[in-house]
Amino acid sequence: MPDTVTESLRRDPAEVAQSWAAWKEANPRGRARDAANAIGVSEAELLATLVGREAVRLRPRWKALVEALPALGRVMALTRNEWCVHEKVGRYDQVQINDQGGVVLDPDIDLRLFFSRWHHAFALTEAGGRQSLQVFDRDGTAVHKVYLKDEGGDAAAFARLVAEFRHADQTPGVAVQAVAPALPERPDAEIDRATLEARWRALQDTHDFFGLLKDLKVGREQAFRLAPDDLARAVGRFSLSRGLELAAAEELPVMVFVGSPGCIQIHAGPVADVRRFGPWQNVLDRDFNLHLREDGIARAWLVRKPTSDGIVTSIEIFDAEGRQIAWMFGKRKPGQPEDARWPLLAERAVAEGDAPATAPQAVGHA
């Protein structure tokens, strides 16, 4: 169900900046998101204290802004939620968008964009010279970030973009709106399970699953729970992590999806360097990094959807509040069946997914 927006709140940026400075002194290697959580503000509010210095507030012209991104050359795209960070290096090419959102279909940077959740944007130049564009939701939650790469990035194009989209208001601070929790799901007894199953089995495209849920007013996990086991079944919460390890060991290309409020970011290809540090399961490849905090995973599901190309299998993980953290498929394109090795690997991953395959190490990952 849609989130409910409450009244706007604007905190004193000087007070926020003072709290942030004290936190950074005690946590010199800490990230802004961790600082925001510790201080009790949003990440956008932290960044907005830098406006007039390291940060420039940008105008909310989302379509034009995304269409300008290809000029930046080689960048790192970052999309995250509370429990998972997805980083891809590449270019913003094959941009297909309108005023509501759209897609970026570069072989390396593959995105689904939803502009209804884009509300604040800043350009940031950090003390070490790293430059980025950062977009936030109305409540100050990070939606998507773009970091200019030293190798292959165009700093002059970045400067031109900032000048073009510079907002007239360059005073520190930002007003955010608290977003109330999502409305509860309908009771299971009100869901037409026979229709849910029939429509699920009649799917021709995995993308139609969202429309099915919307039409029947059923939550995603609720649908998994109510479906027969051959369509969806609960599995061990480390199943996706184990799937990454097995895909690396067997050199099987996969697709890994992570979403924020207004962006879904996709990796399609191999994973190689999979390592666990403390509570984090990581992919540390040259152009793809994933950081999954496993202690945020409450439930996992093995899901099968019929399509015109055959059954498509996924592993999906959720947090305690029912929010989707990440989901993984075998690599495929429309018009192609999934690799026959993938469902076998997925079954093995869920069979071994009740606990981490390797003992957690003591070092945490930021």
Is the domain of 80 the same as that of 211?
no
Are 315 and 327 a contacting pair, CB within 8 Å? yes
Whether residue 43 is contained in a domain is answered as yes
Is the domain of 323 the same as that of 207?
yes
Kindly report whether the global pTM for this prediction surpasses the value 0.85: yes
Are 294 and 356 a contacting pair, CB within 8 Å? yes
Contacts of 67 (CB under 8 A, 6+ apart): 95, 97
Say how many domains are in the chain.
2
Which tokens is 177 given? 């709106």
Is the domain of 229 the same as that of 299?
yes
Half-sphere exposure for 213 (CA within 13 Å, toward CB): 17
CA 265 to chain CA centroid, nearest Å: 6
Is the domain of 167 the same as that of 204?
no
CATH number of the CATH domain containing 61: 3.40.1570.10
Final residue before a domain boundary, out of 128, 155, 179? 179
Whether residue 192 is contained in a domain is answered as yes
3-class secondary-structure state, position 360: coil
Is the domain of 166 the same as that of 206?
no
Which tokens is 86 given? 């997805």
Question: Which residue(s) pair with 121 in the sheet?
Answer: 135
pLDDT at 357 over 80: no
pLDDT digits (tens, 9 = 90+) for 217-267: 999 999 999 999 999 999 999 999 999 999 999 999 999 999 999 999 999
pLDDT at 365 over 60: no
Domain that holds residue 31: 4-93+118-179
Whether residue 101 is contained in a domain is answered as no
Q: Mean of the pLDDT values across residues 85-106? A: 96
Report H helices in 155-238. 155-165, 193-201, 208-216, 220-226
Whether residue 111 is contained in a domain is answered as no
C-alpha closest to that of 71 among 163, 168, 144? 163
Is the domain of 43 the same as that of 143?
yes
d(CA 356, CA 210): 31
Q: What is the pLDDT of residue 334?
A: 84
Final residue before a domain boundary, out of 132, 148, 179? 179
Q: Among 129-133, 175-179, 286-290, 320-324, which stretch is predicted with the lowest mean pLDDT? A: 175-179
DSSP letter assigned to residue 25: H
- End-to-end distance of the chain based on CA atoms, in angstroms? 32
C-alpha closest to that of 342 among 310, 314, 366, 300? 314
Q: Residue 181: pLDDT band by 50, 70, 90 thresholds?
A: confident
Is the domain of 131 the same as that of 266?
no
Is the domain of 79 the same as that of 139?
yes
pLDDT digits (tens, 9 = 90+) for 18-67: 999 999 999 988 889 999 999 999 999 999 999 999 999 999 999 999 99
Are 147 and 131 a contacting pair, CB within 8 Å? yes
Is the domain of 175 the same as that of 193?
no
Question: Which residue(s) pair with 157 in the sheet?
Answer: none
Is the domain of 160 the same as that of 14?
yes
Is the domain of 73 the same as that of 25?
yes
Whether residue 205 is contained in a domain is answered as yes
Is the domain of 171 the same as that of 253?
no
Q: What is the pLDDT of residue 359?
A: 45
CA dihedral (307, 309, 311, 315) positive or negative: negative
Final residue before a domain boundary, out of 138, 162, 179? 179
Q: Residue 131: pLDDT band by 50, 70, 90 thresholds?
A: very high
Kindly provide the b/e burial profile for residues 243-280, where b requires at least 16 CB atoms within 10 angstroms of the residue's own CB.
Answer: bbbbbbeeebbbbbbbbbbbbbbbbbbebeebebbeeb
